[in-house]
Structure 1
Amino acid sequence: MGNQNFLKTTKLADVARWCVSQFVVSVAGSLPPGTAVLDAGAGECAYKDLFSHCTYKSIDLGIGDSSWDYRHLDYIAPLDNMPIDDECFDAVLCTQVLEHVSNPFDTVKEIYRVLKPGGQLFLTAPMSQGEHQIPYDYFRYTSYGLRHICELAGFQSVEVSPLGGMFLRWAYEVPRAMPDMPTSGIKSGKINLAGLLLAPVRIFILSIVRLVQMFLILVDPLDKDKVDPWGWKVVARK
């Protein structure tokens, strides 16, 4: 659906998104049939198919990326002022969104409002990530910051866990160090001579990057403290 292929993203291609997607897969699998789910900040509803056994609704302001197709949304509205009645949903999914809202506390408070008593919030947010969806990128979060916001909103049970450890974060960062080299243009049909000539160099560098990533992922379990991950996942109950 749309341009987002989050579930097809491999671990080496985008470690961070892979971690988020694995979390969402586990969330979807834990929810019983008929669960009323709100995908808050859904974008192109990339995870909708995972919740086919649920009653799935989506909301987004529709301004994050000009190339995205927002036509599949059920609501186009700000997350800190949702046109949704109180206590409508059993679960709210909010992945990689909280850094893009200018009023994160009001957003989490709104999520709390639309959840039924006993309902759950499933949230992910980055602690270390480059600026993206500019200019709609405002915050990065520590585990304590996320817990504080959720508890202020009224959530009584808040569990915050790291998305991997320090080495996994490095595995995410390594590809960003690759030099900006022209591509061959073969896939698009627009052949670039410079890209063709540099293709062996590009392949060699990418091979080194992938080997480094695999090593970092392999040793990530050695990081026992996990206080410096790429991001966090949150499970909070109303």
Structure 2
Amino acid sequence: MNIKKIVKKYILKAKPEPIVGKLNEKTRVEWLEKVLKKIPSGNSILDAGAGEQQFKKWCAHLKYVSQDFAQYKPEGLNSGLQMAKWDYGKLDIISDIASIPVENESFDTIMCTEVFEHIINPVEAITEFSRILKKDGYLIITAPFCSLTHFAPYHFYSGFNKFFYETELEKNGFDIMELIPNGNYFEYLAQELNRLTFIAKQYSGVQLNKKEDRNIAQMKLMLQNLSNKDSNSSELLCFGYHVLARKK
């Protein structure tokens, strides 16, 4: 068999790289874009824990106000996963998220994305959101179900189950409209497999060899197949939850 036939044989056998474990952020961002674009034009929105204000671009039709504690500076930090750099930009409010200096019922909508794991007491934040949100106003939350250490030392929880939202939002006068799991058990395992080469090098000083890389690739194919057949494994493990609630 000549070289052209060998190449052709392997091209025919080649399969596309599985996407399993790679859609965490994409799915979350698409959901946020959809929800934000549905908010009536002219409504006020507070981006609580706004960080770099990445979702401000979808709030052009709204009266956008950003808030953050503005203390994360990754320079010199090396515990867990850190950003290479971080730029808050111009924040409208710099404060503790549980004590925001505005009047009661100041906003039509509050958005808080991937922040709860970085708050020492997220229940206090929910209580504060209830105070400053207008009646019938919307609360948009995303947070991980399970997460690796990141943004340390401001990482206090690995994640939140749906029962946290069902309990605490009800206590604070909210009706839940959407409580959607992002990903599932198999997707989460694949996400960590996708990180394995980096983590092995970072924490074990080991560069995985070609055989080990092939084994990981086979595992990802298996997880892709299992995810395609998934039936509610998100109740065990998922990337996180997307929450849309309304103040009573």
For normalisation by structure 1, the TM-score amounts to 0.77
Q: How does 1:217-232 map to 2 (within 5 A)?
A: 219-225=226-232, 226-227=234-235, 228-232=237-241
| Aligned-pair CA distance for 1:219 | 4.6
Which residue of structure 2 aligns with residue 57 of structure 1?
65
Question: What runs of 5+ residues in structure 2 fail to find an aligned partner?
Answer: 1-18, 75-84
Query: 2:41 aligned with 1:22, yes or no?
Result: no
Is the contact made by 2:21 and 2:187 (CA closer than 8 Å) also made in structure 1?
no
Distance change in 2, residues 1:131/1:181 (3 Å): closer
Which residue of structure 2 aligns with residue 141 of structure 1?
160
| Aligned-pair CA distance for 1:19 | 2.3
Query: 2:200 aligned with 1:162, yes or no?
Result: no
| Aligned-pair CA distance for 1:145 | 1.2
Is the contact made by 2:21 and 2:190 (CA closer than 8 Å) also made in structure 1?
no
Q: Distance in 2 between matches of 1:112 and 1:129?
A: 26
Q: Distance in 1 between matches of 2:245 and 2:66?
A: 19
| Aligned-pair CA distance for 1:213 | 5.1
Q: Matched residue pairs, number?
A: 210
| Aligned-pair CA distance for 1:21 | 1.0
Query: 2:92 aligned with 1:74, yes or no?
Result: yes
Distance change in 2, residues 1:218/1:37 (3 Å): farther
Q: Distance in 1 between matches of 2:68 and 2:147?
A: 21
| Aligned-pair CA distance for 1:106 | 0.8
AA matched with 1:160: L
| Aligned-pair CA distance for 1:12 | 7.4
Which residue of structure 2 aligns with residue 191 of structure 1?
none
AA matched with 1:224: S
Q: Distance in 1 between matches of 2:181 and 2:173?
A: 22
Distance change in 2, residues 1:33/1:100 (3 Å): same
| Aligned-pair CA distance for 1:114 | 1.2
Is the contact made by 1:58 and 1:73 (CA closer than 8 Å) also made in structure 2?
yes
Query: 2:112 aligned with 1:103, yes or no?
Result: no
Which residue of structure 1 aligns with residue 50 of structure 2?
42
Which residue of structure 1 aligns with residue 144 of structure 2?
126
Q: Deviations over 1:164-211 (max 9, x none)?
A: 2222222322222114559xxxxxxxxxxxxxxx9xx68x94x88678
Is the contact made by 2:46 and 2:111 (CA closer than 8 Å) also made in structure 1?
yes
Distance change in 2, residues 1:171/1:32 (3 Å): farther
For normalisation by structure 2, the TM-score amounts to 0.75
Question: What runs of 5+ residues in structure 1 fail to find an aligned partner?
Answer: 1-10, 183-197
Is the contact made by 2:45 and 2:65 (CA closer than 8 Å) also made in structure 1?
yes
Q: Distance in 2 between matches of 1:172 and 1:48?
A: 27
Q: Deviations over 1:101-143 (max 9, x none)?
A: 0111110111111111100111011111101111111122111
* Greater C-alpha radius of gyration: 2
Q: Distance in 1 between matches of 2:51 and 2:182?
A: 21
Q: Percent of aligned positions with the same letter in both sequences?
A: 29
